[in-house]
Amino acid sequence: MDDFGGKQLGLLSKLFLNLKKDEEKKACTHHFGLYNITLLENWMHCFSAIRNICAHHSRLWNRRFTAHIGLPKKTKNDFIENTNVYRYKIYPVLCAMQYILEIINPKNGFKRKLVDLMSICPLKQDKEMGFPSDWNQENFWN
């Protein structure tokens, strides 16, 4: 049996993209504390692309993504303050994932696991992943 991370994530992304009524898209977008439908579409597309890269055991850590993730100008919930990041790297995608996960399941362990993992990351790999030097000082990650 395939878990939700399989083909369903790509299907969910396409279903949302193809919803005919903007009111429905707005309701979903506002549920996640976002104010831009296109941004949520972009995030879902990027999440699906990341899932596919991981599922096929491809290199992720220093990859340059063709789909650049969008960053919100305004959110209902906490988001990173430093948006001067490489949008084609993994760091802003991880930020978007953490943002959404916090709404879906506030008790998720993603943030703690990522901070722990990055604390033992060899030198310069964080830069290759697009992490700003002071990323873990942001309120978003504390």
Q: Per residue in 46-87, pLDDT tens?
A: 998 898 898 888 888 889 999 899 999 999 999 999 999 999
Average pLDDT, the chain: 88
How far apart are alpha carbons 103 and 22 in whole angstroms?
22
The pLDDT of residue 71 is: 97
Estimate to the nearest angstrom the gap between the alpha carbon of 26 and the chain centroid.
19
pLDDT tens, position by position, 121-137: 877 788 899 999 899 99
Cβ contact 43:69 at 8 Å? yes
Element (H, E) at 118: helix 110-119
Residue type, 10: G
The pLDDT of residue 1 is: 38
The pLDDT of residue 7 is: 63
What does residue 117 show for φ and ψ, rounded to 5 degrees? -60, -45
Residue 9 has pLDDT above 70, yes or no: no
